[in-house]
Amino acid sequence: MATDEDESDPKRLCADESMNIEDDLPNGEQSQENYACRDCLRRLNVSRTRTLQIASKEYLEKSICIMSSDTYAPPESYKDFGQFQKDYLTLQEQMQATEGELNSIPICHDENCELNATKRANEAKVNQPNTSKNQVNFIPSPKRKTAWKKIKADNNQTPQIELSNPFSLLNEINETTEQGNPQIANKTMPPINLKYSDDYEKMLESVQLTCGNTTNKLNNGFIKIFTENIDQYNKVQSHLKQQGYDYYLVRPRENRPIKAVIKNLSLHHDPERVKNSLTIAGTSLSTS
C-alpha cells in the first residue's frame, strides 16, 4: 500500500521573480534562435529613427503649407508657425546626421545573424532556378562540336547576278520630256508707279475699266500698279499716257545698265580709247 507521502501531490518548483531565464546562458551571448549582430541591430534602430523623421517632416511641411496658403490670415498670426519653421530646420539637420550614421554602419558578414540570414533568404528566392512543370522533365541536349565543312567554290562556276533597274525607262521618259518642253521661267512684271493725287480713285477706276483688274499699293507718294502679264502691262502704260497721268517705269533688272568705274587711271589717259575698246567688244555705252 502506498503511504500518505506517496499519495500526496508531487512537489512543484516555482521560479523566483528575481530569477532570469537567460541566467543559465553564457555571458555575452544571445539565444541562437534570435541572434542578431550589433551592426544589424544598430542599422534597424537607425532605420526606425529615419522613418519617424520622414513622417515628422511630412507633417511639418503640410502644416507650414496650410498656414502660408491662408488668404484671410497671415502665417505669422498662427502661434505655432515660427516654432514649426524652427523644428523643420532642426529636423533637416537631424535627418542628414541619421543618413550619415546609416551609411557608416558596416555590412554584416555574420552567417549566424538572423537579419542577415533574412536577406540571404530573399536573395536565394530571387536567384532560385525555375522549377515549373515544363522545366522539370527537360533534358538538355549534349554539347558537341559541330564539324564545319569547308567548300571551295570555283569562281568560274559561280553564277553571276544580273543587275538591272526596272525603273530606268521612267528616267529616260523624264529626260526627253524635259528636253522637249523647256520650262519657261515665270517672270514678274515690274510695277508702274503712278503719282498720287486727290483723284486717285477715278484714275484707278479708269485703269480697271480699260485694262482689267490690277493690284495697287501706295508707297512714298506713288501708287504701284502690278499687272499680271506683259499685255496688261502695255495696256496700262498706254492708257496712262493717253490720259496724261504722271507716272514712271522701272526697268527690269536684266535690262538695267551696268555701272562701271575704272580707278587709278592717269590724268593724261584719253577716255575715248576705253570707249572705243568697249564698243569694238560689242558693249553699248552711255556716259554720265
Q: What does pTM read for this prediction?
A: 0.33
* Residue 12 confidence (pLDDT): 53
Q: Band the pLDDT of 280: cuts 50, 70, 90.
A: confident
142 inside domain: no
Q: Pick the residue with more confidence: 215 or 286?
A: 215
Q: Rounded CA gap, 238 and 249, in Å?
A: 12
* Residue 33 confidence (pLDDT): 63
Domain boundary among 76, 97, 114: 114
- Per-residue model confidence as pLDDT tens digits over 229-266: 889 989 998 988 898 888 888 777 777 777 777 788 78
Q: Band the pLDDT of 184: cuts 50, 70, 90.
A: very low
* Residue 26 confidence (pLDDT): 46
Q: In DSSP terms, which residues pair with 174 in a beta bridge?
A: none
Domain boundary among 95, 114, 133: 114
Q: Band the pLDDT of 28: cuts 50, 70, 90.
A: very low
* Residue 52 confidence (pLDDT): 95
The answer on pLDDT for 220 being more than 60 is yes
Neighbours of 203 (CB within 10 A): 20
Q: In DSSP terms, which residues pair with 16 in a beta bridge?
A: none
Element (H, E) at 276: helix 271-280
31 inside domain: no
284 inside domain: no
In the DSSP assignment, the letter for residue 66 is H
Range of the domain at 231: 192-255
Q: Pick the residue with more confidence: 256 or 21?
A: 256
Closest CA to 208 of 228, 186, 182: 228
162 inside domain: no
Q: Pick the residue with more confidence: 177 or 190?
A: 190
Angle among Cα 250, 252, 253 to the nearest 5 degrees reads: 115
Average pLDDT over the chain, rounded to an integer:
75
- Per-residue model confidence as pLDDT tens digits over 102-128: 888 888 888 788 877 566 666 666 666
* Residue 95 confidence (pLDDT): 93
Q: Rounded CA gap, 221 and 193, in Å?
A: 9
Question: How many domains would you assign to the chain?
Answer: 2
Q: Rounded CA gap, 128 and 108, in Å?
A: 22
271 inside domain: no
79 inside domain: yes
Q: Band the pLDDT of 9: cuts 50, 70, 90.
A: low
211 inside domain: yes
Q: Pick the residue with more confidence: 25 or 114?
A: 114
Mean pLDDT (whole number) for 75-97: 90
Domain boundary among 114, 131, 166: 114
Output the CA torsion 33→38→41→43 (10° steps): -140
* Residue 109 confidence (pLDDT): 81
In the DSSP assignment, the letter for residue 61 is H
Q: Rounded CA gap, 38 and 46, in Å?
A: 12
286 inside domain: no
Mean pLDDT (whole number) for 206-221: 88
Mean pLDDT (whole number) for 168-182: 62
Q: Do the Cβ atoms of 236 and 211 come closer than 8 Å?
A: yes
